[in-house]
Chain A
Amino acid sequence: MFAPADKAQAEESAQSLTIEEGKKLYTVGCASCHGTDGQGTSDGPSLVGVGAAAVDFQVSTGRMPAATSQGAQVPKKKNIYSQAEIDQLAAFIASLGAGPNVPTKDQYDPEGADIAKGGELFRNNCAQCHNFTGKGGALTKGKYAPSLEGVEPKHIYEAMLTGPQNMPSFPDTTMSEQNKKDIIAYLHAVNSDETENPGGLELGGLGPVSEGLFAWIFGLGALIAVAIWVAARTAKARKS
């Protein structure tokens, strides 16, 4: 009869334990820049309300903890936390203020999504910075939109949801869950290990300018080199 209440209580205490653990990790790894209670300092923004999804993205991709707050942008690097630790950190940050949760597998799994619609959405919302097949691109003053090659669907979803660093966010209210799924499916189709490239060499996927440049420099260059090679060798019997 009391079981449900007990269970709820147990869950609550487990939850508070997780938050407690997360706070410990936070104090060691994050507080020097983001402040002891996540209120932010001159070295790092406030984390109140960024949500668990932002923590999962930033820490799982190794961007946080950052080596320095200087420089144009915090790069991706090796993640040093276990998933359990990241969950604890995320629980602590989520307890500071409501924000987007870590998406579940149903939300980001591209299986069965509409790739064509995803391509349309990607070109409208993402391609301006990340290139039309997600190869990445340059922004102002040394900042850049990273390549999306090999990025896990979960992290792509979280990035759209939370808008890390200078990337704008695309919340569910303006880009629905289904939209995000379609985008992930599109990226999987055009920019993953299994991507088939009908034309062969993709030359970085940078578009017609780089392809033209390649043809002019290497294609024409090879022809000129062959012509010179043919003409430079005399066919005469007596070699000088």
Chain B
Amino acid sequence: MSSQDIPEEKSPAEQGAHVAVADEKHPFADPGLPPHEHRIQDVDERAARRSERTVALLFTVSMLATVGFIASYVAIPHDKSIFVFPIGHLNALNFALGLTLGLALFSIGAGAVHWARTLMSDVEVADERHPIAAEPDVKAKVMADFKQGAKESALGRRKLIRNTMFGALALFPLSGVVLLRDLGPLPGTKLRHTLWSKGKLLVNMNTNEPLRPEDVAVGSLTFAKPEGLEEDDHEFQNEIAKAALMIIRLQPDDIKDKQELDWSYQGIVAYSKICTHVGCPISLYEQQTHHALCPCHQSTFDLSDGAKVIFGPAGHPLPQLRIGVNDEGYLEALGDFTEPVGPAFWERG
């Protein structure tokens, strides 16, 4: 960058001394190298020594910081907390390690930059380009070597070797192709079914107890999982990702959609918690507007009107689970969701 600054510093007389003349073959005159300018360190030995001391100081700071890093690691207990203005309460060990490591690296870098700028040689060097193509005799030698190799290997004569070698090389990539099978198996009908089935109780995720209708107040929000699915089950995450349920209660008069009303129990409705856009858990429920908002892309569903999409990119209403009450007075599912939960997939239909 400094070489770009320099032409401006030159006087016209200096420029003229250097320049080659433009002719037919070289329509642009070669400006040549600008005259070399000295740094203060090149002419003043005291300044050079000052620079040397600065660089040495920076490297020494780096050494001390590294020693400090090791000392902090050994000396500071990992759970010690300190207050640092303006950051607040933080972990003393993390803070000390970060500070010393940063200082150690920064000082090495700063020292190297200062050294290169003030003391290392700064004489401009021209490096002429050369043609990319090889010399003709080098080309001839390579071709001759290749022909001789082909002849000595006797590939043209020993056809059995040649053909089996081609076979081996052609078959080998198949092992990689076969491994692609591990991407499968295809999901089959898994995306269309959840753990919900007729008679499964709705279990409150807070208390792990089955829900009763009287537990669910108007304006409240509860999350439910199917009976029998426990958090330490191997498949819990896979299953809850599809079966998660949002339970709300509306005044039955407020429910505008007839199917929603039919599938509810005394105003208690159960909707899938999984957004139909890209499957985020959606539960930003506003109890006065009955809207549920997805935090990922702001799809908004009206839970009082069949969870239809009133804003945002989602393409389907949230699937509703049909619920009822069993003989013992607990809320139960009356079947699985009738459509796949979560985001659309291409053979969803």
Nearest CB in chain B to that of A194: its residue: B89
A197 partner residues in chain B, CB cutoff 8 A: 87-91
> Are B287 and A128 interface neighbours, CB within 8 A?
no
Given contacts A235-B39, A235-B122, contact A166 B286 (CB under 8 A): yes
Q: Is A168 touching B248 in the complex (CB atoms < 8 A)?
A: yes
Which residues, 179 to 201 on A, are CB-close (under 8 Å) to B? 179, 194-201
Residues of A within 8 A of B122 (CB): 235
Residue in contact with A124 in the complex, picked from B81, B205, B214, B219, CB distance below 8 Å: B205
| Chain A residues whose C-beta falls within 8 Å of the C-beta of B291 in the assembled complex | 140
Is the C-beta of B223 less than 8 angstroms from some C-beta in chain A?
Answer: yes
A interface bracket (residues with beta carbon within 8 Å of B):
35 or more
Known contacts A139-B284, A199-B90, A170 near B220 by CB under 8 Å: yes
**Is B1 among interface residues, defined by CB-CB distance under 8 A?**
yes
- Given contact pairs A139-B284, A169-B219, A240 touches B8 in the complex (Cβ within 8 A): yes
Contact A163 B287 (CB under 8 A): yes
CA distance A89 to B214 in the complex (A): 29
What is the CB-to-nearest-CB distance from A50 to chain B, in angstroms, rounded to a whole number?
10
Chain B residues with CB under 8 Å of A232's CB are 1
Indicate if A13 sits at the interface (CB-CB under 8 A): no
Residues of chain A within 8 A (CB-CB) of B66 are none
A140 CB contacts on chain B under 8 angstroms: 286, 289, 291, 293, 298, 300, 311
> Once the chains bind, are B215 and A196 in contact (CB under 8 Å)?
no
Q: Is B153 an interface residue (CB 8 A)?
A: no
Known: A140-B291, A235-B117. A240 touches B5 (CB 8 A): yes
Shortest C-beta distance, A96 to chain B (Å), equals 17
- Flag if A230 contacts B88 (CB, 8 Å): no
The listed residue with most A CB atoms (<10 A of its CB), out of B5, B94, B206, is: B206
Q: How far is the CA of A202 from the CA of B88 in the complex (A)?
A: 9
- Inter-chain contacts of B60 with A (CB < 8 A): none
Q: How far, in Å, is B289 (CB) from chain A's closest CB?
A: 7
Please provide the chain A residues from 212 to 240 with a CB less than 8 Å away from any CB of chain B in the complex: 230-232, 234-238, 240
User: A167 interface residue, CB < 8 Å from B?
Assistant: yes
Chain B nearest CB, measured from A106 CB (Å): 20
CB nearest neighbor in B for A171: B217
B96–chain A nearest beta-carbon distance, Å? 11
A167 / chain B contacts, CB cutoff of 8 Å? 287
Q: Is B194 an interface residue (CB 8 A)?
A: no
Q: Which residues of A contact B221 (CB under 8 A)?
A: 125, 168-170
How far is A143 from B94 in the complex, measured between Cα atoms in Å?
A: 38
Given contacts A169-B220, A236-B2, contact A200 B94 (CB under 8 A): yes
B283 touches A128 (CB 8 A): yes
- Which residues of the partner chain A approach B216 to less than 8 Å between Cβ atoms? 173-174
- Determine whether the beta carbon of B207 is less than 8 Å from that of A179: yes
Contact present for A237 and B43 (CB under 8 Å): yes
CB <8 Å contact, B37 and A200 = no
In the complex, chain A residues 102-158 whose Cβ is within 8 Å of any chain B Cβ: 121, 124-125, 128-129, 137, 139-140, 143, 145
Interface residues of B in 250-295 (CB under 8 A from A): 281-289, 291, 293, 295
CB distance from B257 to the nearest CB of A (A): 20
Tell which of B40, B204, B287 touches A174, judged by Cβ atoms closer than 8 Å.
Answer: B204
**Residue in A137, A200, A234 whose CB lies within 8 Å of B295:** A137
Q: How far is the CA of A198 from the CA of B42 in the complex (A)?
A: 49
In the complex, whether B113 has a CB less than 8 A from a CB of chain A is yes
Across the interface, which residues of A come within 8 angstroms of B207, CB to CB?
A: 174-176, 179
**Given contacts A129-B284, A174-B215, A240-B8, is CB(A168)–CB(B293) below 8 Å?**
no
Residues of B within 8 A of A139 (CB): 284, 286, 293
Interface status of A165 (Cβ within 8 A of chain B): yes
Q: Judging by beta carbons under 8 Å apart, are A124 and B223 in contact?
A: yes
The interface residues of chain B lying within 8 Å CB-to-CB of A176 are 206-207
Distance of B13 from chain A, by nearest CB (Å): 16
**Inter-chain contact A230/B205, CB cutoff 8 Å:** no
Cα(A129)–Cα(B221), bound, Å: 13
Binding site for A on B (CB under 8 A): 1-2, 5-6, 8-9, 37-43, 81, 84, 87-91, 94-95, 98, 113, 117-118, 122, 204-207, 211, 214-217, 219-223, 248, 281-289, 291, 293, 295, 298, 300, 311
Binding site for B on A (CB under 8 A): 121, 124-125, 128-129, 137, 139-140, 143, 145, 163, 165-171, 173-176, 179, 194-202, 230-232, 234-238, 240
Q: Give me 27 A-to-B residue pairs in the complex whose CB atoms sit less than 8 angstroms apart, sorted by A's number.
A: A121-B206, A140-B289, A143-B286, A145-B284, A163-B220, A166-B286, A168-B219, A169-B220, A169-B221, A174-B222, A175-B206, A176-B207, A179-B206, A179-B207, A194-B89, A195-B89, A197-B91, A198-B94, A199-B94, A200-B84, A200-B91, A234-B5, A236-B2, A236-B6, A236-B38, A237-B37, A240-B5
